Structure 1
Amino acid sequence: MIYLMAPAPKARVSGGFRVNEALRQRLTATGTGVGIHADPEEVPAKIQSLPSTAPAHIVLDSLYLTDLNPARLNHVLVNRDSPTRLYFLLHFLPCMNPSLSATTRKALQEKEHSLLTLADGTLVPGSTLADYLRNEALYTGAIYRCPPGIEFTELDTPPSDPWDKAPSPRLITVGTLSPSKGQLDILSHLQQLTPSFKGTWRLLGDLHTEPEVYCHFKRKLNNSGLKESIHLCHSVPHSHLGKLLTDADLLVSASRFESYGMAIAEAVAAGIPVLTYRVGETPQWIKEGENGFLIPVGDHKKFKSTLATLLHHPEELFLLKRQAQKIKEEIFLPTWEITFQCFLETFGE
């Protein structure tokens, strides 16, 4: 039996939560397992309460890596009456946050290593996370690939959207508002454009996770002269994302780190060109100059100049979008059923 444990999503619905939810639904539907919501302090007791009549595969979400007590977790595992195997489902690693100081990163790595060494296996979305685990000697055991599904929920009646009549070019960014995601950098680039930006930029995602960042962004936006061109859209339902992406002309991501890059993959699947740093698994999906541009991480000058070129030469951007529409059929992106099969294969199911 497979037990997938993760914190309840609360207000924030991330890509990792969507992976967990897709797996939970399929575990329940197939009778191969169950999903369990638990706060970090509840995890040991939840494990203790699991049935001991059959072997158990316990899968813990990566959000637990900063809060679980390794000694307590190990004590619970070794005292179970039935064979028990532990896995971590790693959507990301907290220690990979590029804004961390060296001291904070080292402390996080030590904590994560102490928990990961208890695991019989880890599941990762792609090679970026797998390589980091090995290169930093955080985990030397079995690593399994479990990429997220890239699919859109079709709406019977698409929502009316005033953006349909917004001036072009129409930019979109999807992700939690955070310094490491780079939305403030994009705003600065748009402010500095000459001639000035005449299009529309829509930001989708959890905008209130870091209140001080949100307040800083709002102040900067109010003083930018671009207030009427930039729209903040907090917690838009994922069922609306397909249409919103399709209506856009360019997805812009200045994120300095992605373990996978789910929003970028979804843009590629929707046939929308992408301007992004070379992060996560993006080289698998972006064909340079054909459906987007990959900028070396940290090269702000090249990112800014590429964005300016696309905005000041809309004919090039619209050609790029036509190419992206054609190329999307050639790029393999997994469905949720493929994700689930990869997940089950980890446990020999």
Structure 2
Amino acid sequence: MSAPLVFAVPRAVDDPERVSGGNVYDRRVRDALRAAGREVRMLLVADEPGALAVALRGLADGALLLADGLLVSREPGAVVAEAHRLRIVILAHMVEPDPDEPRLAAFRAALLIVATSEWTRTELAAQGAADAARVVVAHPGADPAPVTAASEDGGRLLCVAVVAPHKGQDLLVRALAGFADRPGWTCTVAGSLRADPGFAEALGSVVDAAGLADRIGFPGVLDGRALEDAYAHADLLVQPSRSESYGMAIAEALAHGVPVLATAVGGIGEAIPVRDAAMLVPPDDPWALHVVLQQWWADPARRAAAKAAALAARSIGRSWAGTAAVIEAALAEAERAPAPLRTGAAS
């Protein structure tokens, strides 16, 4: 029988006001592992200095630990200090653009790393965080969803992401400002407004100044039925991210048969199983977004083709059960490691 798993995650993992791709991934993996028969004990770690170190010191020797990479990056020394006695697997949702040596040392101290995309795996190896052979890829899943019916003019835009600079909502607003005189379109920007309140406030001011407050809405976090309703009333998902390890909202949109306009960054391409289901533009380029939106609205045949491709993508999307199966295999490998796991891991 498999040993109990200790899953260390941010304390806010279930906070409805702090929904993020990482938190959603953690919750879905937790549930899928439990459904597959793995005993999972959640270790909720506060956003406070030293919290991870205290939490890890309380674990028994030889415990199997899956640690959210956000915690590891915040407190790498805690992982290095305990790697000699714990079976540690790190779940890397993202890649630090300029990792320092302590962070790299923490990733090197783990037995294995689970990455959410091939792009993340490649970046971690390039940074020297881990040999590529120690990194397994467990892409996010997406639940089967009802098909969304397209409107006649394709004017219902949706963006789903925490409202923050790296998600690029400012680029989308700048692109849409050029369509202030064009009737028939709306844009819902769904995501937490608490991650970077200054950015969110500035974005709202730009929308007001452009006279678009009745066209661009910021409802905050949408979850459950509210998020389903947002997809049900969307013609196009627009994700203008400056950085993205995968793009869970893209996978969710395609599961609803909603085409995508996104920036060609990071692992976004891995979330698109049918090429014509998405239109990709260079990052940090509001003019490129503007041009593609103009083409989208001007060409019904283009919209129909993208819709057909998005519907085709629904049948080949990934499942959360498949995600959990990859992670379970990594955990099983870590369980087979001898104890102490690696001589000198804490040095």
Give the TM bin, normalised by the shorter chain.
Answer: 0.7 to 0.9
Residue 228 (structure 1) aligns with = 214
Q: Say whether the 8 Å CA contact 1:198–1:229 is kept in structure 2.
A: no
Residue 277 (structure 2) aligns with = 291
Residue 245 (structure 2) aligns with = 259
* Counterpart among 17, 28, 32 of residue 22 in structure 1: 28
Q: Say whether the 8 Å CA contact 1:190–1:197 is kept in structure 2.
A: no
Residue 90 (structure 1) aligns with = 92
* Counterpart among 40, 50, 55 of residue 46 in structure 1: 55
- Aligned to 2:143, the other structure's residue is in SS state coil
- Aligned to 2:193, the other structure's residue is in SS state coil
Q: Say whether the 8 Å CA contact 1:128–1:280 is kept in structure 2.
A: yes
* Letter in structure 1 aligned against 2:320: W
**1: CA distance between counterparts of 2:180 and 2:83?**
61
- The answer on 1:341 being equivalent to 2:333 is no
Q: Say whether the 8 Å CA contact 1:153–1:239 is kept in structure 2.
A: no
- Aligned to 1:216, the other structure's residue is in SS state helix
Identical aligned pairs, as a percentage? 22
Q: Show the 5 A alignment for 1:298-313.
A: 298-311=284-297, 313=298
- Aligned to 1:348, the other structure's residue is in SS state helix
* Counterpart among 132, 135, 149 of residue 141 in structure 2: 149
Q: Show the 5 A alignment for 1:103-142.
A: 105=98, 108-140=99-131, 142=134
* Letter in structure 2 aligned against 1:344: E
**2: CA distance between counterparts of 1:253 and 1:27?**
29
- Aligned to 2:163, the other structure's residue is in SS state coil
Residue 344 (structure 2) aligns with = none
Relative distance call for 1:18 and 1:239 in structure 2 (3 A) is farther
Where do 4+ consecutive residues of structure 1 move more than 6 Å? 164-167
- Aligned to 1:228, the other structure's residue is in SS state coil
1:203 deviates by: 0.7
**2: CA distance between counterparts of 1:301 and 1:253?**
15
Relative distance call for 1:253 and 1:127 in structure 2 (3 A) is same
**2: CA distance between counterparts of 1:153 and 1:291?**
16
Residue 326 (structure 1) aligns with = 311
**2: CA distance between counterparts of 1:153 and 1:47?**
39
- The answer on 1:13 being equivalent to 2:24 is no
**2: CA distance between counterparts of 1:340 and 1:86?**
17
**2: CA distance between counterparts of 1:50 and 1:137?**
28
Relative distance call for 1:131 and 1:76 in structure 2 (3 A) is closer
Aligned residue pairs, count:
319
* Letter in structure 1 aligned against 2:186: T
1:296 deviates by: 2.9
- Of stretches 300-309 and 173-182 in structure 1, the one that deviates more from structure 2 is 300-309
- Of stretches 257-266 and 4-13 in structure 1, the one that deviates more from structure 2 is 4-13
Per the normalisation by structure 1, the TM-score is: 0.82
C-alpha RMSD of the superposition: 2.6
**2: CA distance between counterparts of 1:286 and 1:226?**
34
Q: Which runs of 5+ in 1 are unaligned?
A: 97-104, 155-163
Residue 315 (structure 1) aligns with = 300
- The answer on 1:4 being equivalent to 2:11 is no
- Of stretches 204-213 and 295-304 in structure 1, the one that deviates more from structure 2 is 295-304
1:348 deviates by: 2.2
**2: CA distance between counterparts of 1:231 and 1:152?**
27
- Aligned to 1:259, the other structure's residue is in SS state coil
**2: CA distance between counterparts of 1:112 and 1:287?**
36
User: How far does the alpha carbon of each residue in 1:286-314 deviate from its partner, in whole angstroms, 9 at most, with x for none?
Assistant: 645x3221123345433321112113x15
Which structure is higher in RCO with an 8 Å CA cutoff and minimum separation 6? 2
- Aligned to 2:64, the other structure's residue is in SS state strand
Q: Say whether the 8 Å CA contact 2:168–2:240 is kept in structure 1.
A: yes
1:88 deviates by: 0.8
Relative distance call for 1:301 and 1:222 in structure 2 (3 A) is closer
1:152 deviates by: 5.6
User: How far does the alpha carbon of each residue in 1:128-150 deviate from its partner, in whole angstroms, 9 at most, with x for none?
Assistant: 10010112222226001111121
Q: Say whether the 8 Å CA contact 2:91–2:115 is kept in structure 1.
A: yes
Residue 56 (structure 1) aligns with = 63
User: How far does the alpha carbon of each residue in 1:195-249 deviate from its partner, in whole angstroms, 9 at most, with x for none?
Assistant: 5353110111112211111110111111112111111111111443233213211
Relative distance call for 1:261 and 1:239 in structure 2 (3 A) is same
**1: CA distance between counterparts of 2:102 and 2:245?**
19
* Letter in structure 1 aligned against 2:19: V
User: How far does the alpha carbon of each residue in 1:93-133 deviate from its partner, in whole angstroms, 9 at most, with x for none?
Assistant: 2x23xxxxxxxx3xx34332121121111000111100101
**1: CA distance between counterparts of 2:53 and 2:130?**
22
